Amino acid sequence: MTAEIINGKDLAQEIRMGMKEEVTQLKERGISPHLTVVLVGDNPASRSYVKGKEKAAAEVGISSSVIELPADTSEKALLDRIHTLNEDENVDGILVQLPLPKHISEQKVIETINPAKDVDGFHPVNIGRMMIGEDTFLPCTPYGILTMLQSRDITIEGKHAVVIGRSNIVGKPVGQLLLNENATVTYCHSRTPDLREVTSKADILVVAIGKPNVITAEDIKDGAVVIDVGINRLETGKLTGDVDFDGTKEKASFITPVPKGVGPMTIAMLLKNTIKAARGLEPLE
Ligand code: NAD
């Protein structure tokens, strides 16, 4: 079997086209979504991610602004800035680009963002709403993964989904979203003694480790759906995922490439969340 490739770049483009239409209609009703990105320090990777987000926002008609702060900005100054953005009626979505300099607590920053403007979906209130299945801002990468599966009508209900990785931004929430869709979910991580024993039983395998080629064809079941979240830069400069793509694609039914896989979907979902923030979340029952 040769897997069908789920191209996240093309799917994200398609989704952006739909959002452009939606934003035009919102603007006719006087709602003009605005995203503010806060960038602290000058990590080149962060800078390039921020540029990608600005460009994608502009493409769908969402206005954005970037607040650049020096690396030695104090935690208090950053939190004060966030409070100001929380109060600013013209700002619908706030995203603080991670990672932050070591002297600033990322968790404190995340918890300071008004949950109604938390378009990254990292605030504990939004994570909690996701867990109980309420309307919320889903964290962008897991949301992108779910959208990729749904775009190919891949059945999730009743399937065994295995997630490798348990970070708060990818592993844990993607497992929760798959559970919300009625999958039977197993989490694996760095302390899992026999990874292959678990991955070889997965109908849907989500790999979010951050190390190249950890998963090979021998680790998966025939016909598995393989979602590769990892982004690793090899010494050659080439970008690669966590999965041995060439070998695995001969055994899987669907697979996502790196690049052009989950990455572009993450940004598309950020824009979706920004539009949602401009419209307003549904209140809790
Ligand atoms: P993280 O470092 O916070 O978490 C990595 C997880 O992998 C940990 O839970 C750890 O227990 C597990 N792990 C490490 N080594 C392992 C091993 N040998 N076997 C099994 N589990 C192991 O990373 P993260 O923030 O979740 O990101 C994971 C990867 O996804 C990174 O490459 C990151 O760059 C990428 N990422 C991509 C996107 C995207 O949009 N495509 C978004 C976020 C993260």
pLDDT (0 to 100) of residue 275: 97
| CA 94 – CA 34 distance, rounded (Å) | 9
User: Is residue 133 within 8 Å of residue 177, measured between CB atoms?
Assistant: no
User: Is residue 240 within 8 Å of residue 232, measured between CB atoms?
Assistant: yes
| Encoded tokens for 26 | 């919102």
DSSP string, 85-130: HHH-TT--EEEEPSSPPTTS-HHHHHHHS-GGGBTT--SHHHHHHH
Query: What is the SS3 string spanning 178-226?
Result: HHHCCCEEEEECCCCCCHHHHHCCCCEEEECCCCCCCECHHHCCCCCEE
pLDDT (0 to 100) of residue 33: 97
Strand (E) or helix (H) holding 258: none
| CA 276 – CA 171 distance, rounded (Å) | 24
pLDDT (0 to 100) of residue 39: 98
Ligand 1 neighbour 163 (Cβ under 6 A) = no
Ligand 1 neighbour 52 (Cβ under 6 A) = no
Residue 97 known to be catalytic: yes
| Encoded tokens for 25 | 């209609």
Ligand 1 neighbour 241 (Cβ under 6 A) = no
Q: In whole numbers, what is the pLDDT of the chain averaged over residues?
A: 96
Burial class (CB in 10 A: 0-12, 13-18, 19+), 112: buried
Residue 107 known to be catalytic: no
Q: Looking at ligand 1, which residue's alpha carbon is closest to its atom 16? A: 190
pTM > 0.95: yes or no = yes
Ligand 1 neighbour 109 (Cβ under 6 A) = no
Ligand 1 atom with minimal separation from the 265 CA: 40
Q: Among 92, 97, 118, 203, which one carries the catalytic annotation? A: 97
Helix (H) and strand (E) counts in the chain: 10, 11
Give residue-wise pLDDT tens across range 181-195: 999 999 999 999 999
Give residue-wise pLDDT tens across range 207-250: 999 999 999 999 999 999 999 999 999 999 999 999 999 999 99
Q: Looking at ligand 1, which residue's alpha carbon is closest to its atom 35? A: 230
Strand (E) or helix (H) holding 74: none
pLDDT (0 to 100) of residue 282: 65
Ligand 1 neighbour 262 (Cβ under 6 A) = yes
Residue 53 known to be catalytic: yes
Per-position pLDDT tens, the chain of length 285: 799 999 999 999 999 999 999 999 999 999 999 999 999 999 999 999 999 999 999 999 999 999 999 999 999 999 999 999 999 999 999 999 999 999 999 999 999 999 999 999 999 999 999 999 999 999 999 999 999 999 999 999 999 999 999 999 999 999 999 999 999 999 999 999 999 999 999 999 999 999 999 999 999 999 999 999 999 999 999 999 999 999 999 999 999 999 999 999 999 999 999 999 999 876 655
User: Is residue 154 within 8 Å of residue 205, measured between CB atoms?
Assistant: no
Ligand 1 neighbour 168 (Cβ under 6 A) = no
Ligand 1 neighbour 230 (Cβ under 6 A) = yes
Q: Among 92, 117, 118, 120, which one carries the catalytic annotation? A: 120
CA of 27 to the centre of ligand 1 (A): 38
How far does the chain reach from its first CA to its final CA, in angstroms?
A: 47
Ligand 1 atom with minimal separation from the 267 CA: 40
Coil, strand, or helix at residue 68?
strand
Show the domains of the chain with their CATH numbers.
Answer: 29-114 (3.40.50.10860), 140-264 (3.40.50.720)
pLDDT (0 to 100) of residue 1: 78
